[in-house]
Amino acid sequence: MIAAIIGGVIERIGARLTAAAAIEDPVEAVRSILTGGFAIMDEYGDLMATLVSGHMPAACKAQFEKQDEIALTAAIIRKGITAGAFRSDLDPLLAAALLIGTLVPWNYQQPRVSHSVAQISAGFLDLCLNGVKVAAP
């Protein structure tokens, strides 16, 4: 039973990334990754901790390892660089790792106490796109 639930979550994560990759606008694709990822986190938070830690049945572990979230996200970032939506000097692998790294339970649980899923997603999107530095005048 647990293996079936974990397998379903892994499939949802993969489907969300595949759907995001099909979005033409790279900013909207990144928004889709965050919105979908935080929605999954909201529904399966404790189970996500299991996925991230690797403590799961062997069949699920193989399924999870087969899915390369960072590579899929890096491809979306590259598409954004090519389209001129993201900086040309941006490292797609590092940007993808940062983006996917936000989708872990310990980065989500405390903000979720006072923020909606939409607010968390929008906040992380703003942070990813605009950083923390004040824009030059």
Q: Look up residue 49 and give its two tokens.
A: 């901790």
User: Per the domain annotation, does 118 fall within a domain?
Assistant: yes
Helix (H) or strand (E) holding 99: helix 92-101
Q: Look up residue 128 and give its two tokens.
A: 């990813």
CB 27 within 8 A of CB 129: yes
For residue 8, what pLDDT band results from cuts at 50, 70 and 90? confident
Domain count, the chain: 1
Cα three-residue angle 60-23-119, rounded to 5 degrees:
75
pLDDT digits (tens, 9 = 90+) for 60-108: 666 656 668 899 999 999 999 999 999 999 999 999 999 988 888 788 8
User: Per the domain annotation, does 10 fall within a domain?
Assistant: yes
Domain limits for position 27: 2-130
User: Per the domain annotation, does 123 fall within a domain?
Assistant: yes
CATH number at residue 74: 1.10.357.10
User: Per the domain annotation, does 135 fall within a domain?
Assistant: no
- What pTM was estimated for this model as a whole? 0.82
Cα three-residue angle 61-71-69, rounded to 5 degrees:
40
